[in-house]
Structure 1
Amino acid sequence: KSLYLLLLFCGEIVLAYFSWAAVWALGLAALMLQNSNHWIDILDTGTLSQKGYMESLFYPISGYLYCRCISAGLSLNQMLRDQRRQPADEAQQLSLLQFLRLHLPRALAYGFYLPWHFSGPILTFADFCREAERPDRLVWKPNLLLLLAWRATRLLVWMLLLQVLHHFLPVGAFLESIRSYESVPYKRLVFSMYLHGQSFMLVYVQLYGWPGLVSSIDGVELPHWPDCISRVYTYRQMWRVFDRGLASFMYSHIYIPMGGSRHGIVRQVAAVAASFAFVSIYHGDSTSVRIWAALNAVHLLLEIAACRLYEWKLKAWLSRRVSPANHQRLVAYIIGFNLAVTSCFIFVFLIGDVSALLFIVEIFKPLLLYRPWWHLFVGLLLTYFTVQLSLRYEECVEAKRKKVNKIRMNMTAKY
């Protein structure tokens, strides 16, 4: 497979000289080839084909390699197009051979950079070049060893906790065993869903943490590991702070080039749809992944529409009629209900089965008088508390950031 990836990377750089569309075509073709059963049979080693592990880890880790190929090709093509738009007397026209001689070594260094080669994460080609070319990259920092020891200790603690969860609390197996005709204990269902989401987050902490730890020795800062999902209450936040590398790739190479939020609602909807179509291909393009990606896209668009409506009319209307404290409580109630529903979407991906949507029915069964109403009340109350704590945490972080910026401005003015 290493030879295949090397040839693929070289092919992307060659195509970058001609067209960005050709770069995308080759990258997507490689991803779709990986998703085919024939390719899985070639790579099958016995453990990769286990259900759940393949879909949750193998596709994202392999997808990181292909995303780096695409990012290098698109970035070099954009740079070449910028050069060609310069006046004829200033532009430096490169032949294909000169282009490869100048950029191929750097592109290969990016694609096969050792700290992230085996597990990710994604750092776009432009960000990698900025990190590698920083003047202070190889300057020894006095507190570097202490910082590395602290990060390694945290990663080891989370790894130990992850192993304990997998060995003594196999909640994933319990969730996969649920059937629509069975009655599920409410507390066990909610606890298992929460714990399974936390364990999946800890897996990504390891995938991001160790490569970032090694690369920091080299002076290259990779995207930080995921924020704790217990304080993430919207889908927009989740996609920004969970897999930061994938989010940066989609934002730089799909969302912004297609118009983003600055060129009207139609182009924004198209950009979101294209981003999640890529997410589906990236994660294996199975039926459950397609449904999960579609649910994400639809819900993200609904969140954007709701936020715009709130900022446009509702915020001012509520501010005139209720106190600031009650205003925040009402917003937290609405977000908490939304959080309780949408938290089930990720399990379509984690379990690899559309039947995971039955969790929504199981959670809200008390409304149909199948269970005591206080089960649902306690669940919604906990989500409300989660949202309130998250909003308070964001306020504290923002206040701290403003204080630090003010101190820096005062020091700059002083000297």
Structure 2
Amino acid sequence: FQQYKDEYSDFTQGWAFLSRKKDISDFEWQTMKLVIKKVYIWVILSTVMSELMRKFKFIKSLQWWQVIITVTFVINELGVFPLVVILFQPLVFTVAYTWRSKFVIWLCNGIALLLISVCKHYSAGEEFLIIFKLTDKETYITILAIFWMNLRCVSYYLDLLDVPEREQRLMNFLSYSLYLPTAFSGPFIPYKDFKRCQQFDENLSSRLYTLLFEILRFLFWLFFAEFCLHFIYVNATSFHPEWVKSLDSWSLYGYGYTMGQFFHIKYLVFYGLATSFAKFENVIVPSLPVCIGRIHLYSDMWKYFDAGLYNFLLSKLVQNRFLSSLICFIFVYIWHGTDGFILIWTVLNYIAIIIENIAAAINENHLQNSKLIHKLGPKWFRRISCIAASPLLAVSAVSNFYFFARSEIGNIFALRFLN
């Protein structure tokens, strides 16, 4: 890539002391860095004012403040049109709640997701950007906000229907759905965990120390990723399938593993910074993404990579093992976007999870207490389980490569695996 003719602006001049080009071809990473740069000044202001309001027990004022600061940020940094788009879902779901029906809430959610997917498709066009006077990054930030807003709206009103004695207060909903630290980057936090931010915690020094430590920790990983992108062009490579196809198997799988590690660091930074401020405000936050190198079962990837989304699916969609898995993955497919490579990723995920569930059921009902297992002992049983699970690990890895780098790169890994 040193002599590469950069027609698509995949690279920029890197840090001066390294004298190397830097890979900037990952649009999501570049956009979220812009979000971090713009939003966290506002988040710090929001956190300081919120702490003072909690101390003096201005809870109503706190809720108004959480709404006003986010609305002001959106108008100032994105504009009025993105604000209208972001606020559209809270309005629609509030009206839908008047029917007091879970079916109506889910119907509303299905329509909302389809509209968001259509909007996402058309927002990529240059004509859309010109009409609404938005940059491609501003449009992407708005799309991110409405996808996260969708989860919060559904979760809040389904929970409200489950607890009929809880009074619906519009400010409760708005302060939750427009909470600035998680508005654009996630992760998903249910209302029951969010509402603790209305409580004042006397232990300020300990919370402040934890906040500063975690900010430094996640900024380190941000700069570490930026440093690596001067030497490992993992994202730009995905736009050159012919070169990827020419790699020998060891190099190809190493490239795939590197894609996974970059994806992990990316979401560790996004979720980590957001949850650091949320934790400071006493919000109960989901665990951060675990390193993909520690995961060998694909069900564990769902449990431990995006714990917030997993908890949402578990609490709102999972009732029986097989049908609910199908519903979950249909929801995941639509929520992530209806692109072809997302469909392949979702289908492979679903197949892997079903096979895991069948194997777990066979083990539980027929093998666990059998004479054979007792003779083999726990160590040999663990070894056999690992051997049996390794093809699934390969399939789950290939499915991720579709998700990371789209269909052309995913097909290369799939064909190499099959051959």
Match of 1:247 among 294, 310, 313: 310
Provide closer, same or farther for how the CA distance between residues 174 and 58 of structure 1 changes in structure 2, counting only shifts above 3 A. Answer: farther
Q: Which residue of the other structure, out of 174, 181, 189, is the alignment partner of 1:123?
A: 189
Deviations 1:160-216 (A, max 9, x none): 121123332112332442249944222221111001001101111111111111112
Contact 2:237 2:244 in 1 (8 A): no
Asked if the contact 1:59–1:282 (Cα under 8 Å) also holds between the matched residues in 2, the reply is: no
Cα-to-partner distance string for 1:129-149 (whole Å, 9 max, x where unaligned)? 3x346x6x5332552233223
1:77 equivalent in alignment to 2:155: no
Aligned ranges 1:113-152 → 2 under 5 Å: 113-129=179-195, 131-132=196-197, 137-152=200-215
**Selected match of 2:104 from 10, 19, 22:** 22
In the alignment, is the contact (CA less than 8 A) between 2:348 and 2:395 conserved in 1? no
Kindly indicate whether residue 147 of structure 2 is the aligned counterpart of residue 68 of structure 1.
Answer: no
Of 18-27 and 202-211, deviating more is 18-27
Residue 298 of structure 1: aligned partner: 351
1:64 deviates by 1.1
Give runs of aligned pairs for residues 381-392 of structure 1, distance below 5 A: none
Instruction: Determine the structure 2 residue equivalent to 1:395.
Output: none
Distance 1:43-1:291 versus aligned 2 partners, 3 A rule: farther
Aligned partners of 1:234 and 1:339 also within 8 Å: yes
- Distance in 1 (alpha carbons) for counterparts of 2:197 and 2:296: 35
Q: State the match for 1:275 in structure 2.
A: 328
Q: Which residue of 2 aligns with 1:353?
A: 407
Inter-CA distance 185–121: structure 2 relative to 1 (3 Å threshold): same
Structure 1 counterpart of 2:378, which letter?
Answer: P
Aligned partner of 2:278 among 204, 207, 215: 215
SS at structure 2 position matched to 1:109: helix
Q: Is the contact made by 1:115 and 1:212 (CA closer than 8 Å) also made in structure 2?
A: yes
Q: 1:290 to 1:363 in 2, by over 3 A?
A: closer
Letter in 1 for 2:269: Q
The reply on whether 1:106 has 2:172 as its aligned counterpart is yes
CA contact (8 A) 2:129 2:135 kept: no
Range with greater deviation from structure 2 (179-188 or 339-348): 179-188
Equivalent-residue separation in structure 1 for 2:138 and 2:253 (angstroms): 29
Equivalent position of 2:89 in the other structure: 8
Aligned to 1:160: 223
Would the aligned equivalents of 2:271 and 2:288 in 1 still touch at CA under 8 Å? yes
| Maintained 8 Å contact 2:124/2:136 | no
- Report how far residue 40 of structure 1 moved: 4.3
Q: 1:215 to 1:194 in 2, by over 3 A?
A: same
Paired with 1:108 and 1:58, the residues of 2 have a C-alpha distance of: 17
Partners of 1:247 and 1:43 lie apart in 2 by 34
Shift of residue 116, structure 1, vs aligned partner: 1.2
Counterpart contact for 2:151–2:188, Cα < 8 Å: yes
Q: Deviations for 1:213-255, whole angstroms, at most 9, x for unmatched residues? A: 1112211132121011111111111101111111111111111
Deviations 1:105-146 (A, max 9, x none): 1000100012112222111223323x346x6x5332552233
* 2:388 is the alignment partner of 1:334: yes
Cα RMSD, aligned residues only:
2.7
Indicate conservation of the 8 Å contact 1:121/1:208, yes or no.
yes
Contact 2:148/2:186 (<8 A) preserved: yes
Distance in 2 separating the partners of 1:189 and 1:46: 35
Name structure 2 gaps, 5 residues minimum.
1-81
What is the alpha-carbon distance in structure 2 between the residues aligned to residue 181 and residue 140 of structure 1? 53
> Residues 170, 47 of structure 1: CA spacing in aligned structure 2 closer, same or farther, 3 A cutoff?
farther
Distance, in Å, in 2 between the alignment partners of 1:147 and 1:357 is 44
